[in-house]
């Protein structure tokens, strides 16, 4: 084991033991200790009833928000620790939280309510394990297995379907065969799970190292909350650029993207509009004209349905919309795109294009990948040299334009836009004299026109 039990957690276990109660670390932290990964939170379970726990920590700050479910949160050196009385759960009528909980006298009953064997291991102060469901062996084998009868467990709580896929993707584990079958069979339980909770699991899953495998092995689960994926999963594309069908291409594109939620969502959805745009020419080659716009529309709908925040949704939609944009490695063009999208989105678009290429016939796209590198270098150079990209970067402003004799009003903005356009295209340099010269010229020609 590479990580030690945190001192704060140690003191809490000791305090409960000293008062005569059983107390164990449990769940994610024990699993992560056994995996050799540093735990991010330390859950504790105990035989003490909530009010007994509170009495043990009368001298500490205690947060009572979880009291109804038997949880007392104790702050130890600023770090919160959840201490939960051994309990079982009643039915999940809304698949969000149990209708009620029952406190039980022994640890094993508490472990039995937990979702997967790897999450149903307890560890005492000395490091001794209580592992009635074989979680340690499953961790060693890299297996996700339900505690108890899998179908029953997924029917109790549909979120577990997504949790199984999420843990598989994040840890690079496989889902044990019977649990996997039950995942498929009970995927419709997700209909009863709040969109926000599916969203949270999906985001973690997509940045996991096994995200591609989860998409490959469980497309039916993803289609359950995003039915729009269905036609993409079965899409064939007979096209020299594509060595795979729509779904396998999408999976490679997701895997080829950096581990960032926005980029991975963009890759998952970038071709979602292809099935609706498919046509086959006289040579039997498939085309998907106009698919980026259709993909963007569908992506917008899907991200809304899953309650993504505006910022993520808007950015993903933007990237999907432009994923196929022509982007020759010329400074003029790069300046325009930098101006249009802003640097952050522009560099994300380059990542999207790179990942999209990773999902295509590799010998065909080598040149394009090199070109993307060139574009990135040029863009970085443009930004480093602080070249003019937006109105605010122009060497003149509205006051200069008015001082040059343009009447206040919309004409001032038009002149500035005209200047920016010419600077971006390289027609005139972003220098004050050159710009003022152009304004004077514009004004004269404009007045002549007025005179006509
Ligand atoms: P992580 O915090 O790393 O995402 P975790 O396993 O700690 O993983 P939590 O949601 O923090 O996940 O839950 C803590 C523990 O509670 C789990 O390890 C598991 O034992 C139990 N648990 C959580 N959610 C469920 C559920 N939906 N059904 C059954 N048990 C659950
Ligand atoms: Mg946790």
Q: Is 35 in the same domain as 103?
A: yes
Task: Calculate mean pLDDT across residues 127-150.
Answer: 98
Site to substitute for ligand 1 among 41, 119, 204, most atoms within 8 A of C-beta: 119
The answer to whether residue 343 scores a pLDDT higher than 50 is yes
Domain end point (choices 118, 141, 164): 141
Instruction: State the distance from the centre of ligand 1 to the C-alpha of 119, rounded, in angstroms.
Output: 7
Instruction: State the distance from the centre of ligand 2 to the C-alpha of 315, rounded, in angstroms.
Output: 29
Q: Is 132 in the same domain as 160?
A: no
% of the chain residues with pLDDT over 70: 96
Q: What's the CATH code of the domain at 99?
A: 3.30.460.10
Domain end point (choices 141, 173, 188): 141
Read off φ and ψ for residue 279, nearest 5 degrees.
-140, 155
Q: Is 53 in the same domain as 73?
A: yes
Q: Is 132 in the same domain as 57?
A: yes
The answer to whether residue 214 scores a pLDDT higher than 80 is yes
Residue 436: give the domain boundaries. 391-445
Average pLDDT, the chain: 93
Site to substitute for ligand 1 among 27, 71, 110, 132, most atoms within 8 A of C-beta: 27
What confidence tens digit (pLDDT) does each residue in 415-446 have? Answer: 999 999 999 888 899 999 999 999 998 888 86
Q: Is 96 in the same domain as 29?
A: yes
Q: Is 209 in the same domain as 137?
A: no
Q: What's the CATH code of the domain at 439?
A: 1.10.246
Given a contact cutoff of 8 angstroms between Cβ atoms, the answer to whether 306 and 260 are in contact is: no
Ligand closest to the CA atom of residue 38: 1
Domain end point (choices 225, 259, 291): 225
Q: Is 135 in the same domain as 167?
A: no
Instruction: State the distance from the centre of ligand 2 to the C-alpha of 29, rounded, in angstroms.
Output: 7
- Count of C-beta atoms within a 10 Å radius of residue 112: 15
The answer to whether residue 449 scores a pLDDT higher than 70 is no
Task: Calculate mean pLDDT across residues 374-390.
Answer: 89
Task: Calculate mean pLDDT across residues 93-98.
Answer: 65
- Among 41, 54, 55, 49, CA closest to 69: 49
CB distance 43 to ligand 1 below 6 Å? yes
* 191 in any annotated domain: yes
* 274 in any annotated domain: no
What pLDDT does residue 259 have?
Answer: 97
What pLDDT does residue 391 have?
Answer: 87
Task: Calculate mean pLDDT across residues 265-278.
Answer: 96
pLDDT grade, residue 101 (50/70/90)? confident
What pLDDT does residue 96 have?
Answer: 61
What confidence tens digit (pLDDT) does each residue in 175-195 have? Answer: 999 999 999 999 999 999 999
Q: Is 124 in the same domain as 162?
A: no
* 192 in any annotated domain: yes
What pLDDT does residue 299 have?
Answer: 98
What confidence tens digit (pLDDT) does each residue in 21-52 have? Answer: 999 999 999 999 999 999 999 999 999 999 99
Q: What's the CATH code of the domain at 216?
A: 1.10.110.30
Residues 6 or more apart in contact with residue 291 via CB below 8 angstroms: 271, 273, 274, 276, 277, 324
The answer to whether residue 378 scores a pLDDT higher than 60 is yes
* 273 in any annotated domain: no
CB distance 27 to ligand 1 below 6 Å? yes
Instruction: State the distance from the centre of ligand 1 to the C-alpha of 11, rounded, in angstroms.
Output: 23
Instruction: State the distance from the centre of ligand 1 to the C-alpha of 158, rounded, in angstroms.
Output: 14
Instruction: State the distance from the centre of ligand 2 to the C-alpha of 116, rounded, in angstroms.
Output: 13
- Higher per-residue confidence, 140 vs 77: 140
Per the structure, how many domains does the chain have?
A: 3
* 400 in any annotated domain: yes
Ramachandran region, residue 123 (left: φ > 0; alpha: ψ -120 to 50; beta: rest)? beta
* 300 in any annotated domain: no
pLDDT grade, residue 93 (50/70/90)? low
Site to substitute for ligand 1 among 114, 132, 146, 192, most atoms within 8 A of C-beta: 114
294 alpha-carbon distance from chain centroid: 22
Given a contact cutoff of 8 angstroms between Cβ atoms, the answer to whether 145 and 130 are in contact is: no
Q: Is 134 in the same domain as 155?
A: no
What pLDDT does residue 133 have?
Answer: 98
Q: Whose CA is nearest to atom 21 of ligand 1?
A: 114
The answer to whether residue 385 scores a pLDDT higher than 90 is no
Q: Is 127 in the same domain as 154?
A: no
Q: Is 199 in the same domain as 107?
A: no
- Count of C-beta atoms within a 10 Å radius of residue 138: 21
CB distance 356 to ligand 1 below 6 Å? no
pLDDT grade, residue 448 (50/70/90)? very low
Ligand closest to the CA atom of residue 44: 1
- Higher per-residue confidence, 316 vs 97: 316
**DSSP letter string, 57-111:** TTTSEEE-TTGGGTEEEEEETTEEEEEEE-EEE---TTSSS-S-EEE-S-HHHHH
Q: Is 41 in the same domain as 158?
A: no
CB distance 98 to ligand 1 below 6 Å? no
* 378 in any annotated domain: no
CA distance 97 to 65: 15
* 18 in any annotated domain: yes
- Among 388, 369, 315, CA closest to 346: 315
Instruction: State the distance from the centre of ligand 1 to the C-alpha of 252, rounded, in angstroms.
Output: 30
CB distance 153 to ligand 1 below 6 Å? no
pLDDT grade, residue 95 (50/70/90)? low
């Amino acid at each position: 084991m590479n990580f030690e039990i945190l001192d704060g957690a140690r003191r809490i276990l000791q305090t409960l033991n000293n008062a005569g109660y059983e107390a164990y670390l449990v769940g994610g932290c024990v699993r992560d200790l056994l995996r050799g990964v540093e735990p991010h939170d330390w859950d504790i379970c105990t035989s003490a009833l909530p009010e007994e726990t509170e009495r043990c920590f009368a001298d500490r700050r205690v947060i009572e928000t979880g009291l109804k479910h038997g949880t007392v949160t104790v702050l130890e050196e600023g770090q919160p620790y959840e201490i939960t009385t051994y309990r079982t759960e009643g039915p999940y009528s809304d698949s969000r939280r149990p209708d009620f909980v029952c406190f039980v006298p022994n640890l094993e009953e508490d472990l039995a309510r937990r979702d997967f064997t790897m999450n149903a291991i307890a560890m005492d102060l000395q490091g001794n394990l209580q592992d009635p469901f074989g979680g340690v062996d499953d961790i060693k084998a890299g297996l996700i297995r339900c505690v108890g009868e899998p179908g029953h467990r997924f029917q109790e709580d549909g979120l577990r379907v997504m949790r199984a896929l999420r843990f598989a993707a994040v840890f690079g584990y496989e889902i044990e065969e019977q649990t996997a079958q039950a995942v498929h069979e009970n995927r419709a339980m997700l209909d009863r799970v709040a969109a926000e909770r599916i969203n949270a699991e999906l985001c973690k899953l997509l940045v996991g190292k096994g995200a591609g495998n989860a998409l490959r092995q469980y497309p039916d689960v993803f289609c359950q909350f995003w039915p729009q994926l269905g036609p993409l999963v079965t899409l064939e594309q007979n096209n020299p650029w594509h060595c795979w069908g729509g779904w396998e291409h999408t999976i490679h594109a997701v895997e080829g993207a950096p581990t960032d939620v926005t980029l991975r969502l963009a890759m998952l959805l970038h071709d979602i509009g292809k099935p609706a745009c498919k046509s086959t020419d006289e040579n039997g080659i498939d085309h998907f004209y106009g698919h980026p716009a259709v993909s963007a529309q569908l992506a917008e709908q899907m991200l809304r349905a899953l309650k993504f925040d505006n910022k993520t949704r808007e950015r993903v939609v933007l990237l999907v919309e432009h994923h196929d944009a022509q982007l020759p490695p010329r400074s003029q063009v790069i300046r325009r795109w930098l101006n249009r999208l802003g640097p952050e989105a522009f560099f994300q678009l380059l990542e999207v294009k790179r990942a999209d290429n990773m999902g295509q016939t590799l010998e065909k796209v080598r040149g394009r990948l090199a070109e993307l590198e060139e574009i990135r270098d040029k863009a970085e150079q443009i930004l480093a040299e602080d070249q003019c990209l937006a109105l605010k970067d122009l060497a003149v402003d509205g006051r200069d334009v008015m001082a040059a004799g343009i009447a206040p009003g919309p004409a001032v903005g038009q002149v500035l836009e005209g200047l920016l356009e010419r600077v971006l295209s390289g027609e005139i340099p972003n220098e004050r004299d050159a710009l003022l010269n152009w304004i004077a010229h514009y004004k004269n020609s404009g007045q002549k026109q007025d005179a006509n």
